[in-house]
Amino acid sequence: MTRVERWERRAEVPLLLLAVAFLVAYAWPVLDPRLPADLATMLQVAGWSVWVAFAVDFLVRIVLADTRWSYVRSHWYDLALIVLPMLRPLRLLRLLALARILNRSATSSLVGRVSTYVLGAALMSAVLAAIAVLDVEQDAAGANITTFGDALWWSATTVTTVGYGDRFPVTAAGRLIAVALMVVGIATVGAVIASITGWMVAQVDTEASREPNKSQRAE
């Protein structure tokens, strides 16, 4: 196990908790815009504090890496999650940090893939997209997604690729969120089909390998 892997294992749980804390700090003002100014400021500070923690984590991993530039190039998405949200219009990208931490815990088994990527990713993406689209849509002119219920219904129909069209984003940022959620929905369906197909093929191979053994015992 490399030094980076040891650090990731130690930091995994604290970073996961921080990502959840950021989600609370981000979602609370969106769901309740009438928060007292002091509380809203405190939540904003908490959100930026979590961002600093993720930046420090990435810097530590770079220092511990054997080939630092190679590590940065191969983990460009981590760098993007840290740098891009510094711009206010891209602050929603910080929510992807939670997905990145959960990705570290994913296993290569069928159960791990289905539970982590399919159930976990689809549910988390739907909820986060609902909060994110509500954040950018609720005060927009001509918006029809103005409550969390509207946003959650929209995200559920979008991630499942149903798309009734009764709720839809009208802002550019909202439409970008919709495109990302559509991609997640398509990928989720594909992952389910691939996992089930792989499991069925493995079962057929197992049964096929048992048949010769049964024939030999019968003889």
- Contact (Cβ atoms closer than 8 angstroms) between residue 40 and residue 29: yes
Look at residues 76, 105, 134 and tell me which one is the last residue of a structural domain.
105
Q: Interhelix angle for 96-104 vs 3-31, to 10°?
A: 150
Same domain (yes/no): 9, 95: yes
- Residue 58 CB-half CA count within 13 A: 23
Residue 74 and residue 125 in one domain: no
Spatial CA neighbour of 25 closest among 117, 91, 99, 122: 91
pLDDT of 98 reads: 58
The pLDDT assigned to 217 comes to: 57
- Please identify, among 57, 77, 105, the residue that sits at the C-terminal boundary of a domain: 105
Nearest to residue 198, comparing CAs of 186, 206, 210?
Answer: 206
Give per-10-residue mean pLDDT for the chain (219 aa): 85 81 84 87 88 88 89 82 60 58 53 58 80 88 91 89 86 88 79 71 74 58
Runs of H (alpha helix) within the chain = 3-31, 37-64, 68-74, 76-83, 96-104, 110-112, 121-137, 148-159, 172-218
Angle of helix 121-137 relative to helix 96-104, nearest 10 degrees, comes to 170
Same domain (yes/no): 81, 142: no
Residue 92 sits in the same domain as residue 188:
no
Task: Note whether 135 and 93 are same-domain residues.
Answer: no
Q: Please indicate, yes or no, whether residues 116 and 219 belong to a single structural domain of this protein.
A: yes
- One domain for residues 50 and 20: yes
User: How many domains does the chain contain in total?
Assistant: 2
* Token duo for residue 100: 């990145």
Q: Are residues 95 and 36 in the same domain?
A: yes
**Residues 219, 112 share a domain:** yes
Question: Do residues 81 and 94 lie in contact, with contact meaning Cβ atoms separated by under 8 Å?
Answer: yes
Rounded CA-CA distance 219/209 in Å is 17
pLDDT at 89: 45
Neighbours of 143 (CB within 10 A): 19
CATH number at residue 117: 1.10.287.70
Query: What is d(CA 169, CA 176) in angstroms, rounded to the nearest whole number?
Result: 9
Upper half-sphere CA count for residue 113 (Cβ side, 13 Å): 15
Structure-token match 């984590």, residue found = 57
Instruction: Note down the domain range covering 66.
Output: 1-105
Do 80 and 115 have their domain in common? no
3-state secondary structure of 91: helix
Task: Identify whether residues 99 and 115 lie together within a single domain.
Answer: no
Residue where a domain stops, chosen among 56, 81, 105? 105
Residues 112 and 101 in one domain: no
Q: State the Cα–Cα distance between residues 21 and 43, nearest whole angstrom.
A: 10
